[in-house]
Structures are given as structure tokens and as C-alpha cells.
Amino acid sequence: MSGTVIILTGPPGAGKSTTAASLAATYPRAVHLRTDDFWDHIVSGGIPPYLPESDAQNHTVVEVVAGASAAYAAGGFTVVVDGVVGPWMLGHFRHALCLRPGLDLHYVALRPDRAETLARAQRRTAPDALVDDAPIHSLWDQFAELGELEAHAIDTTHHSAAETARAVAEAITSGRYRL
């Protein structure tokens, strides 16, 4: 599946990174783009991306991610974008991909229930992992109702990592998550 961008999104702790790494490994030519890495490249003046005052910064970062994903996809890679990419950010991807006709865009939101999301997020041990209740709940709330993209959400509350990876692979193969 070359020329494809798969956005794998959801709140912190939803299983995006684990699933994205697993999914990307199934393609012969693939890139796993972790949006967190793009925020980490900001060395001064950065605002935590979950704060309201970070909106302009967040749009800039997502525009960069979208451009990188489109360039990789145009080069024949399947790109799995792993990050908190709400529907309000999809315009950046649509714009970047429309500049390179023939590329596919898929959107999959992992959405375990609120309690499970918080529990998973707080079990993470990476030094920079977001584990504070308030921003995790706020981000979960933002994914609680996806409007016209509600059919793109997968409830992974009771899934193992392998079950989530299988569900996402099936979702992509079905074509139902294509934008």
C-alpha cells in the first residue's frame, strides 16, 4: 500500500505508539512518524501542546508533520502518523496530500473508555510521558465525540496490544477509514 498516510490518533494512553510501530512493521516500505518527536524539536519558546495557548504552535507542528508524511508517501512509503491529531487538524493533512495527487489518507482514532485511558497513560514510565489527570481527561474529552468522523473510532478498552493492532489493520484494509 504505497502512497498512503494513516493517521493513528487518540488521547494519551490509547495505545497509539505501540499500535503504530506494529502496524508500520507490516508494510514492506513504511515510516512511523511520531508527532511527539516534532514537538521535541522545539528547543526554546515551546508551550506544552495540551495548553490552550499552544494552538498556533500546534497548527505549525502539525503542518510540518503533514508535509513530512506527504513527502514520504509520495516516495512510495506507507506512513503511519502516531499522535494526538484531532479532526480540527485534518485540514493540514488534506492540504499537504492534495499537493501530491494519488495519495490515500486514512484516519483511525483509538478510544478506550475514559478510566482505561487514564490508567494506561499513568502506567507509562517514559520520563516525558504525560501522566497528569487534567490534561489526559481534557484530551480524552476532545476525542469523546468525533462528529462526522465518529465511525473512525475504535473502542479498544478491552483490547490487548495485539488485538488493537489487528483491529486497526482490518480497518485500513476495509477502506472504511479512508478520508
Residue 72 near residue 160, CB atoms below 8 Å: no
Is position 121 within any domain?
yes
- Structurally, the chain folds into a number of domains equal to 1
Residue 121 near residue 50, CB atoms below 8 Å: no
Lookup: cell for 72 = 514520504
Least confident piece of the model among 51-60, 98-107, 132-141: 132-141
Q: Which residues contact 96 (CB under 8 A, 6 or more apart)?
A: 63, 66, 67, 69, 70
Is position 57 within any domain?
yes
What's the confidence (pLDDT) of residue 1?
Answer: 44
pLDDT band at 2 (very low <50, low <70, confident <90, very high): low
> Mean pLDDT of all residues in the chain?
93
Residue 155 near residue 146, CB atoms below 8 Å: no
> Can you tell me the distance from the alpha carbon of 84 to that of 82, in angstroms, rounded to the nearest whole number?
7
Is position 141 within any domain?
yes
What's the confidence (pLDDT) of residue 88?
Answer: 93
Host domain of residue 65: 4-174
Residue 78 near residue 30, CB atoms below 8 Å: yes
> Can you tell me the distance from the alpha carbon of 81 to that of 136, in angstroms, rounded to the nearest whole number?
20
Q: Is 44 helix (H, G, I), strand (E, B) or coil?
A: coil
Q: What is the pTM of this model?
A: 0.93
Lookup: cell for 6 = 494513516
Sheet containing 104-110: order of strands: 30-34, 78-82, 4-9, 104-110, 153-154
Is position 179 within any domain?
no
Q: Is the pLDDT of residue 124 over 90?
A: no
- For the chain, the C-alpha Rg in angstroms (whole number) is 15
Q: What percent of the chain has pLDDT over 70?
A: 98
Q: Is the pLDDT of residue 169 over 50?
A: yes
Q: CATH no. for residue 164?
A: 3.40.50.300
Instruction: Express each pLDDT in 35-78 by its tens digit.
Output: 999 999 999 999 999 889 999 999 999 999 999 999 999 999 99
